[in-house]
Chains A and B, each alone.
Chain A
Amino acid sequence: MNPLAFVPLFLASIGRSTLGLLGVVGRLAIFTAETLSHVLRPPFYPVELGHQLLRIGYFSLPVVGMTTLFTGAALALQIYAGGVRFSAETVVPSIVAIGIVRELGPVLGGLMVAGRVSSSIAAELGTMRVTEQIDALTTLSTNPFKYLIVPRVVAATLALPVLVAIGDIIGVLGGYLVGIGRLGFDPGAYIKNTLDFLEPADVTSGLVKAAVFGFLLALMGCYHGYNSGRGARGVGQATTNAVVSASILILAANYLLTEAFF
């Protein structure tokens, strides 16, 4: 068969994929705009917001804490291994702190919470869609965006900076424990070295990143769950798509924000 015969098929498949992608981007943009438009307009559901803050924020604390603790500890060992080659092992405390606060705390915290929360939101809303609970909300004069989506998105946006701030402290503590126990640093000198080189902008840039990541991971969970297909397969697909898209968006947004704060 003539190989040129495949060219139109190839171009057609590229065209279909492009149109599909543009369709998803458009639907997501409309969903985001609708969510934001409901954030400031009453009625508000403070009890629901409180539940979501507890669920997304408080219950994610162990996951974020463990992640940053071990990351800080490993980071201290790696920086020491590199620093010792040109007699710069004293930079371990400051580089651990800057690395955790500016980059690893928000990114790893965001990814871990995405795995835990985006999937859970997508599965919950997907099941509500399949079992007609979302339609039932509408018939009970309750806007599903206001009752289901806004509390989750707002809660994640507020909770992530707090989670990451706590995670930053635990991550620095992980580096401190390894620095003192394994690498022979003086405790007072380690803390002084950490604080002397850490600037307020390092902390605030990390917390701004965390808020953006929180917004993105909840939005992805809500979008995929709310638009879930039918049956167990549809809900499963929505859950997978929520985690994958939230993780990719977090990493992409991290690069853009790092460029912005550079």
Chain B
Amino acid sequence: MAPTPKIALQDVWKTFGEKTVLAGVSLSVAPGRSLVIIGGSGTGKSVTLKCILGIERADRGSIRIDGTEIEKIDRRAFLRHFGMLFQGGALFDSLPVWHNVAFRLRHGRQPMSRRDARDLAIGKLRRVGLGPETADLYPAELSGGMQKRVGLARAIATDPEVIFFDEPTSGLDPIMAGVINELIRELVTEMGATAITITHDMTTVHSVADEVAMLHGGVIRWQGPVAGMETSGDPYLQQFIHGRAEGPIETVR
């Protein structure tokens, strides 16, 4: 018998005003697996993640975590074991780097001491390839690549069971993108975490994914193992992964 999916969406709908963004999304990810959601801009990838997190409320459909509907789970308990890397980093620019990384540890119900939190943050920064000299800098003093690494360090600060990565390589040069992709793969494998990544970048897909789901027109067009993409035969997926202008996905010129 297949294990209960860590996260499962069934027929999820979300509308903003008159625009329907999600029109019956169904997907699932098993514990310890890495799912990458691909799709064009504005197809609802970020909205899907926000619905899972409860930042946006789905109009209808079922979202389950460990088999329990999200309305019934202890959201704080779920978030305690959750990390997320945001597209732009979303670092708090009024706080130094170490405090960003250790934010959850300093603001939880039993806050960690300043010294312990700082030491732990420096350890996590080292894990993502940043030296202790970055700990006291402010986010505005860092390059884009360094901000992504700090965001990654913050996402893994509490060794989460579930991690979301929102466009982890956007705005980075190919070398830095490769470094971030490798880090994500290593960290997810090392922690045994369940990961959902959303991206346009096919290099990220091949580096990070165990499974791939393609979102288009408000529904999951295709979901399967990364190795099955090339042979899927789905015209939407083929057009997207090969970056063809011709095909069923309409392009604005």
A-B interaction:
yes
Residues of chain A touching chain B, judged by Cβ–Cβ distance below 8 Å, are: 43, 45, 131-133, 135-136, 138-142, 147
* B50 lies within 8 A of chain A by Cβ: yes
A-B contact pairs, 6 of them (CB 8 A): A43-B107, A132-B88, A133-B93, A136-B90, A138-B53, A141-B104
Q: A133-B92, A135-B50 are in contact. Are A140 and B86 (CB under 8 A)?
A: no
Q: A43-B109, A132-B90 are in contact. Are A138 and B55 (CB under 8 A)?
A: yes
* B79 lies within 8 A of chain A by Cβ: yes
Cα distance A147–B106 in the bound complex, in angstroms: 13
Q: How far is the CB of A221 from chain B (nearest CB, A)?
A: 16
B31-64 contact mask (Cβ, 8 Å, vs A): 1 or 0: 0000000000000000000100101000000000
* B170 lies within 8 A of chain A by Cβ: no
One of A43, A131, A136 near B84 (C-beta < 8 A): A136
For chain B, give the interface size range.
Answer: 20 to 34
Cα distance A174–B154 in the bound complex, in angstroms: 53
B97-120 contact mask (Cβ, 8 Å, vs A): 1 or 0: 000000110011100000000000
17 extra A-B contacts, CB within 8 A, seeds A136-B92, A141-B104: A43-B107, A45-B107, A131-B88, A131-B90, A132-B86, A132-B88, A132-B90, A133-B90, A135-B50, A135-B86, A138-B79, A139-B53, A139-B84, A140-B79, A140-B103, A141-B108, A147-B107
Cα distance A139–B90 in the bound complex, in angstroms: 11
Cα distance A133–B147 in the bound complex, in angstroms: 13
A132 lies within 8 A of B87 (CB): yes
Q: How far is the CB of A44 from chain B (nearest CB, A)?
A: 11
Report chain B residues within 8 Å CB of A133. 90-93
Q: A43-B109, A147-B107 are in contact. Are A139 and B92 (CB under 8 A)?
A: no
Report chain B residues within 8 Å CB of A131. 88, 90
A140 lies within 8 A of B104 (CB): yes
* B244 lies within 8 A of chain A by Cβ: no
Cα distance A178–B235 in the bound complex, in angstroms: 84
Report chain A residues within 8 Å CB of B19. none
* B76 lies within 8 A of chain A by Cβ: yes
Report chain A residues within 8 Å CB of B80. 141
One of A135, A140, A147 near B55 (C-beta < 8 A): A135
A141 lies within 8 A of B79 (CB): yes
* B82 lies within 8 A of chain A by Cβ: yes
Report chain B residues within 8 Å CB of A139. 53, 55, 79, 82-84
- CB-based nearest A residue for B108: A141
Q: Which 5 A-B pairs have the closest CB atoms?
A: A136-B90, A132-B90, A141-B79, A139-B84, A140-B104
Q: How far is the CB of A2 from chain B (nearest CB, A)?
A: 33
In this complex, the member of B76, B87, B92 whose beta carbon has the largest number of chain A beta carbons within 10 angstroms is B92
Report chain B residues within 8 Å CB of A140. 79, 103-104, 107, 154
Report chain A residues within 8 Å CB of B87. 132
Report chain B residues within 8 Å CB of A132. 86-88, 90
- CB-based nearest A residue for B75: A141
Report chain B residues within 8 Å CB of A138. 53, 55, 79
Q: How far is the CB of B24 from chain A (nearest CB, A)?
A: 25
Cα distance A122–B51 in the bound complex, in angstroms: 26
Cα distance A220–B102 in the bound complex, in angstroms: 31
Report chain A residues within 8 Å CB of B88. 131-132
Cα distance A43–B76 in the bound complex, in angstroms: 13
Report chain A residues within 8 Å CB of B104. 140-142
Cα distance A132–B84 in the bound complex, in angstroms: 11
Cα distance A156–B251 in the bound complex, in angstroms: 51
Report chain B residues within 8 Å CB of A147. 107
Q: How far is the CB of B102 from chain A (nearest CB, A)?
A: 10
In this complex, the member of A131, A133, A141 whose beta carbon has the largest number of chain B beta carbons within 10 angstroms is A141
One of B82, B84, B90, B107 near A142 (C-beta < 8 A): B107
Cα distance A174–B104 in the bound complex, in angstroms: 50
- CB-based nearest B residue for A45: B107
Cα distance A213–B53 in the bound complex, in angstroms: 36
Q: How far is the CB of B47 from chain A (nearest CB, A)?
A: 12
